[in-house]
Amino acid sequence: MSSRAYILTPARGLKLCSKVNPGYESCSKTSRLAQVVCGSAHVARWQRSRTAVVVSQERVCGVLDGERNFHVLYQLLAGADVPLLKRLRLQRSWEHYRVLRGAAAEAAAGASPRRAAPAAAPAPRAAEQDRDHFAFTTAAMRALGFGPGLCDAVLRLLAFLLKLGNVEFEPQHNIDGTIGTRLQQRYELEEACALVGVDAEALGAALGAGEDEVAADADSSSGSEAAGSPGAGAWAAARRDQLLCVLYSRLFTWLINAVNDHIKPREAGKRCSLGILDVYGFESLARNGLERLLINYAAERVQAAVTGATLRREQEEYAREGLAWRALPYTDHELHAELLDQGPDSVLAALRDCSARGASDAAFLQRLQRRRHPRLLVLPPDHFQVVHFGGAVVYSARGIVHKNRDAVCRRCAGVLGAARSPLLGALFAGVAGAGSPRRPAALACRQRALVGALVRRLPAAPRLVRCLRADAQLRPHRFDAALLRHQIRSQGIMDMALLRRSGWCESMCARAALARYGLLARARPPASPRASPAPAADEPVRAARALLRQLPIPSAEFAYGRTRVFVRSPRTVWELEALRAARVAQLVVGAQRAWRRHRARVRARAAAVLARWWRARRPAAPARAPPAGRAAAAAVLWRAWCTAARRRYLLRLWRRLPARAHSPACAAWPACPAPRLLGRADALLRRLHHAWRCRLYRAAFDQTARNRMREKVTASILFKERKANYGVSVAHPFVGDYVRLRASAAWRRGLGAAGDRYVVFADVVGKVARSSGRVARCLAVVSTGALLLLEARSLRLKRRVPAHTVYRLSLSPYADDLLVVHVRASGALESSTEELSQCSSRDAADAPGCLFGGEGAWRRRGDVVVRTCHVLELATKLFLVVQNAVGAPPHVNIATEFEANFGQQLVTLAFHAVGAAPGGAGGAGGVGGAGAGGARLLRRGSRMDVLV
């Protein structure tokens, strides 16, 4: 379970909105506060301050399968150009780096899945999206004042982190019987150190390469987890992982401080600010350690500070306004938070004392067991359970005391502090030097202080937005009702819903209500002597009551306090806003109408003045001949009527279009009202409208739809008005893979892995025997490079015809299902298992004594004759494949009689339209068979008749 809260600081009243998360999990485990600071000059600036930072260290040094590491690492690999990758000595693929693959988390000691049930891996972000985000990140750094040298230093540190993560250690048996460690991937260490100017030998020695396992120094970062892990060298790998975590955490902290220094207001004085806080959410995973405990502690404190204070403040406001209200009991979340940080026996206090004294994890569990709190339970040997506001969470105490110390290996820090890179030296300058004699604050202490500062900074009336996890496995469009009910009950949402249901969902100041909804007031009639006096202007509550009573909303939906107006249900607020929007639209239309009327009057007066001036000063016009009388008047009337008819036609045409006018298949068109006058324009507009909707139809295509439309257009060019069954095939889309061959594992292991992987067409067809005309079932597959005939069950290759050897496709003009593929008699040899199995692989194909080699064997293969119910689709796809492979399209021959090469001789295929297929057997020359197309084949010597 996980939730995230967003708090808007300066709001009046708490607004609760539950947002269902469809399955995206953020890779950041930090609390972020963004502030808009407004000065006296009304200039807004963003200020982002870090109030609580606990970077998820287990994510830095390796992620689990199905998750991502921090996004900037993927963006660097996807968005960097080739010169930058070469300068950073990185590769484009993220799979080359251990910290991004996710296998390290499974191999690490004591690691277990983060969730109780294995979740499906989230969909990986597209490389284009990572490239865009990298460009945005670099542009933002430049806009924030980071120079080219500083940006390059940050990218070098990220590349150093990626390459140092690939350094591995293996056990080494020394001559004296001790077990030491030996460095693997030395080139990765040398390249990583060359990026930031670090001595590779010194860093390798500091990590533990070449040392005995028992010779680890006292400030080793292996901890109890690494010491308990089997195999020599595990402590060196743990030291490397902690160094990576510390490096990324300090780089993150440095970036936050640098951004704050750049965008903070320069002038001092009183300012207003709007803050947006992204705080931790409650988390319960399969394995929970110190980081989960601190994250849940922060969520616990924010929950106690926000929910309890809001519930108490709302009820106090009802009492202060004098409303009839009975106090509602609610869950006090302060009790959950006090278990963690109140008193010397709290969980965080016990962890602090054990870290200060250097005690073990068992001593920490003993301290917790002596507490005997109903919400705290110790589970031997190394687990304990805490009941939070969101439910019970079991934490692992293995290595928790050492993690809380947050110690850094001094040898590694000294090597990195002496780096030639100024940024890396500054990050480790404090640890590399002599340092302070005081022990650094523990991680839990720092987190407690930061959370306390955050809670004190929260306003009295924040706006809270909660994000609920809809599915425990982060699957999109899945809703787990039990999980959602648990989150709603445990996070105070139910208490707020009960408060709103029994109380009022919205409250506003009476003066603000009058200012916002005063325009809804109807015009008052003239006051009579007997009429009741109007509400005084100095009584806003009475004025608001009189205003709201005029609206078509029940009076029971409103309650009136001493200074505020309360609204019962959210629907009432929506109705008020809808009435206001309608009234504003009405006023705007009225204002526009008045403005147009005024502008027309001004223009008319100006036109009259100009006309009088022109008539007074124009020269005398020569005498004109009188008009021809009725003929001139008729011409004027005709032109006026034609103009009005054209205008009326154009204005009404769009409304007269049918409902399916946007579909290219719709042939309906409104009748032309005046064919003699508007017939030509109507035909032209009809063609333009059809072209426009065809363009819209094509613009909505994706790449798959474009390919299918291209195939359909090609089939129309080849077979329209040439093949009798073309009209039947227009309404049926081309499927291609009718037998789902692409999903077959046998195909991917066999021929699909040999070069014919992409399947354009696959279906069970009938292969016509050239000797007798019988039809044998086989699987015809058209790939991007060849036509393959396979056995339907075993997928054994019977014949492969390369695309560049096909030069003609022959069909009849009738509605039959026969296709002849003509193959060249010279060129590269076809591959056939029947022939190749007869010849030795060491002999050439045309070697003497080989019965199946040479040009003669090539010609004996002959053309391919197949029968299929998808004959037009097979011919079209084969036409396009040959055209893409050769560069020139094959010839498509549609005739009632043509020749085919049957290996030994040329056979003439003749098609006869006889209506129904004859019921008798074939002639003496051969045996025929009728297929789905209703055709019968008869072979007589060098002639084969096809009866359709």
State how far the Cα of 6 lies from the Cα of 470, in Å rounded to an integer.
Answer: 18
Please tell me the least confidently modeled range out of 119-133, 279-293, 718-732: 119-133
Query: Residue 230 has which token pair?
Result: 């089997």
Please, which pLDDT band fits residue 805 given cuts at 50, 70 and 90? very high
* pLDDT at res. 641: 92
Query: Residue 153 has which token pair?
Result: 């230093």
Please tell me the least confidently modeled range out of 83-87, 309-313, 336-340, 936-940: 309-313
Please, which pLDDT band fits residue 123 given cuts at 50, 70 and 90? very low
* pLDDT at res. 5: 38
Is the domain of 758 the same as that of 876?
A: yes
- Which helix (H) or strand (E) segment holds residue 565: the answer is strand 564-567
**Which among 185, 181, 179, 234 is positioned nearest to 210, based on CA atoms?**
181
What is the average pLDDT across 465-483?
81
Each residue of 533-589: pLDDT tens digit?
554 544 888 888 888 888 888 888 888 888 888 888 888 888 999 999 999 999 999
- Is the distance from CB of 834 to CB of 933 less than 8 angstroms? no
Is the domain of 874 the same as that of 796?
A: yes
* pLDDT at res. 280: 57
Domain count, the chain: 3
Please tell me the least confidently modeled range out of 342-356, 419-433, 460-474, 830-844: 830-844
Question: Which domain-ending residue is among 582, 601, 620?
Answer: 601
* pLDDT at res. 430: 63
Whether residue 148 has pLDDT greater than 50: yes
Please, which pLDDT band fits residue 924 given cuts at 50, 70 and 90? very low
Q: Is 699 helix (H, G, I), strand (E, B) or coil?
A: helix
Q: What are phi and psi for residue 698, nearest 5 degrees?
A: -70, -35
Answer whether the bond into residue 381 is a cis peptide, omega within 30°.
yes
* pLDDT at res. 731: 77
In a domain? residue 891: yes
State how far the Cα of 883 lies from the Cα of 875, in Å rounded to an integer.
Answer: 12
State how far the Cα of 836 lies from the Cα of 852, in Å rounded to an integer.
Answer: 8
* pLDDT at res. 842: 36
Query: Residue 635 has which token pair?
Result: 């011409």
State how far the Cα of 732 lies from the Cα of 728, in Å rounded to an integer.
Answer: 8
Is the domain of 741 the same as that of 817?
A: yes
Please tell me the least confidently modeled range out of 34-43, 239-248, 672-681, 818-827: 34-43
Among the residues of 80-126, which ranges form H helices? 82-88, 98-101, 103-107
In a domain? residue 81: yes
* pLDDT at res. 375: 85
Task: Name the residue with higher pLDDT: 864 or 411.
Answer: 864
In a domain? residue 20: no
Whether residue 107 has pLDDT greater than 90: no
Whether residue 645 has pLDDT greater than 80: yes
Burial of 902 (0-12, 13-18, 19+ CB in 10 A): buried
Whether residue 346 has pLDDT greater than 50: yes
Concatenating the DSSP letter of every residue in 234-299 gives: HHHHHHHHHHHHHHHHHHHHHHHHHHHHHHS-SS-S--EEEEEEE----B--SS--HHHHHHHHHH
3-state helix vs strand vs coil in the chain, percent to 5: 45, 15, 40
Pairing of strands 383-388, 376-379: antiparallel
Is the domain of 436 the same as that of 557?
A: no
Q: Is 64 helix (H, G, I), strand (E, B) or coil?
A: coil
Give the CATH number of the domain where residue 36 resides: 1.20.120.720
What is the average pLDDT across 825-849?
44
Please, which pLDDT band fits residue 445 given cuts at 50, 70 and 90? confident
- Is the distance from CB of 311 to CB of 499 less than 8 angstroms? yes
Distance of CA 269 to the CA centre of its chain: 44
- The β-bridge partners of 276 are 8, 34
Q: What are phi and psi for residue 398, nearest 5 degrees?
A: -75, 110
Residues near 180 by Cβ (< 8 Å), separated by ≥ 6? 171, 172, 173, 174, 210, 211, 212, 213, 215, 232
State how far the Cα of 350 lies from the Cα of 354, in Å rounded to an integer.
Answer: 6
Please tell me the least confidently modeled range out of 68-82, 497-511, 677-691, 791-805: 497-511
CA dihedral 150, 413, 53, 164 (to 10 degrees): 70
SS3 per-residue string spanning 328-375: CCCCCCHHHHHHHHCCCCCHHHHHHHHHHHCCCHHHHHHHHHHHCCCC
Each residue of 745-772: pLDDT tens digit?
888 877 766 767 788 999 999 998 877 7
- Average model confidence (pLDDT) across the chain: 76
Task: Name the residue with higher pLDDT: 10 or 200.
Answer: 200
* Count of helix runs (H) and strand runs (E) in the chain: 34, 26
* pLDDT at res. 793: 85
Is the domain of 429 the same as that of 548?
A: no
State how far the Cα of 936 lies from the Cα of 947, in Å rounded to an integer.
Answer: 5
Is the domain of 51 the same as that of 143?
A: yes
- Is the distance from CB of 442 to CB of 352 less than 8 angstroms? yes
In a domain? residue 425: yes
* pLDDT at res. 582: 93
In a domain? residue 484: no
Whether residue 303 has pLDDT greater than 80: no
**Which among 277, 276, 283 is positioned nearest to 3, based on CA atoms?**
283
What is the average pLDDT across 129-156?
89
Is the domain of 432 the same as that of 561?
A: no
What is the average pLDDT across 100-112?
50
Please tell me the least confidently modeled range out of 151-160, 201-210, 622-631: 622-631
**Which among 771, 777, 773 is positioned nearest to 791, based on CA atoms?**
777
Each residue of 930-946: pLDDT tens digit?
444 567 888 888 888 88
Most confident of 198-207, 271-280, 673-682: 673-682
Each residue of 649-672: pLDDT tens digit?
999 888 888 877 788 888 889 999
Whether residue 688 has pLDDT greater than 90: yes
State how far the Cα of 775 lies from the Cα of 846, in Å rounded to an integer.
Answer: 32
Is the domain of 167 the same as that of 36?
A: yes
- Is the distance from CB of 288 to CB of 394 less than 8 angstroms? yes
State how far the Cα of 566 lies from the Cα of 509, in Å rounded to an integer.
Answer: 9
| ∠ CA 476-482-486, rounded to 5° | 105
Question: Which domain-ending residue is among 441, 474, 493?
Answer: 441
Give the CATH number of the domain where residue 579 resides: 3.30.70
Each residue of 860-888: pLDDT tens digit?
578 999 999 999 999 999 999 999 989 89
Q: Is 827 helix (H, G, I), strand (E, B) or coil?
A: coil
Task: Name the residue with higher pLDDT: 59 or 70.
Answer: 70
CA dihedral 808, 813, 814, 820 (to 10 degrees): -10
The whole domain housing 558 covers 504-519+542-601
Query: Residue 758 has which token pair?
Result: 């992409």
- Is the distance from CB of 776 to CB of 864 less than 8 angstroms? no
Is the domain of 149 the same as that of 242?
A: yes
State how far the Cα of 383 lies from the Cα of 404, in Å rounded to an integer.
Answer: 16
Give the CATH number of the domain where residue 736 resides: 2.30.29.30
- Which helix (H) or strand (E) segment holds residue 38: the answer is strand 30-38
State how far the Cα of 78 lies from the Cα of 94, in Å rounded to an integer.
Answer: 8
Burial of 616 (0-12, 13-18, 19+ CB in 10 A): exposed
Each residue of 27-53: pLDDT tens digit?
444 556 666 665 544 344 444 444 444
What is the average pLDDT across 276-299?
77
- Within 10 A of 438 (CB to CB), how many other CB atoms are there? 6
- Which helix (H) or strand (E) segment holds residue 474: the answer is none
- The β-bridge partners of 17 are 465
State how far the Cα of 372 lies from the Cα of 357, in Å rounded to an integer.
Answer: 23
Q: What are phi and psi for residue 878, nearest 5 degrees?
A: -65, -35
Each residue of 577-605: pLDDT tens digit?
999 999 999 999 999 999 999 999 999 99
In a domain? residue 455: no
State how far the Cα of 236 lies from the Cα of 278, in Å rounded to an integer.
Answer: 36
State how far the Cα of 524 lies from the Cα of 569, in Å rounded to an integer.
Answer: 29
Is the domain of 434 the same as that of 558?
A: no
Half-sphere exposure of 83 (CA within 13 A, CB side): 1
* pLDDT at res. 42: 38
Whether residue 899 has pLDDT greater than 50: yes
Please, which pLDDT band fits residue 420 given cuts at 50, 70 and 90? confident
